[in-house]
């Protein structure tokens, strides 16, 4: 199991488009993935779950991945957060 603390840095936070990108990305991996923020833990492969976090700009989230391709999934998600979900802000 791997854990990574990530910060939502794009201006609009984990809104619908950013959430869809994250869920689509993680759904391509076989490992289990969860996100934890504000005392809630959700399935990171569920659009509704991630949206329920209501993670705005500056929110710290914990990504937890567990399974055979966990390293690749964690690296890909970390890169997506670092790229601000390709939103340019």
- Look up the pTM and report it: 0.94
CB atoms within 10 A of CB 41: 13
Confidence of residue 89 (pLDDT cuts 50, 70, 90): low
Lookup result for tokens 């689509």: 24
Pick the CATH number of 2-86 from 3.40.1110.10, 3.30.1340.10, 3.30.300.30, 3.40.50.970: 3.30.1340.10
* Helix/strand number for the chain, H first, E second: 3, 4
Q: pLDDT tens-digit profile of 22-63?
A: 999 999 999 999 999 999 999 999 999 999 999 999 999 999
Edge-to-edge strand order for the sheet containing 32-37? 2-7, 60-66, 32-37, 40-43
Catalytic residue numbers, as ranges: 15
């Amino acid at each position: 199991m791997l854990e990574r603390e990530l910060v939502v840095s794009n201006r609009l936070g984990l809104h619908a488009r950013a959430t869809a990108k994250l869920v689509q990305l993680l759904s391509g991996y076989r490992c289990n993935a969860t996100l934890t923020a504000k005392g809630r833990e959700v399935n990171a492969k569920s659009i509704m779950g991630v949206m329920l976090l209501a993670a705005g700009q500056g929110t710290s989230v914990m990504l937890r991945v567990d399974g055979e391709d966990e390293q690749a999934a964690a690296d890909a998600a970390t890169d997506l957060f670092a790229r601000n979900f390709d939103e340019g802000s």
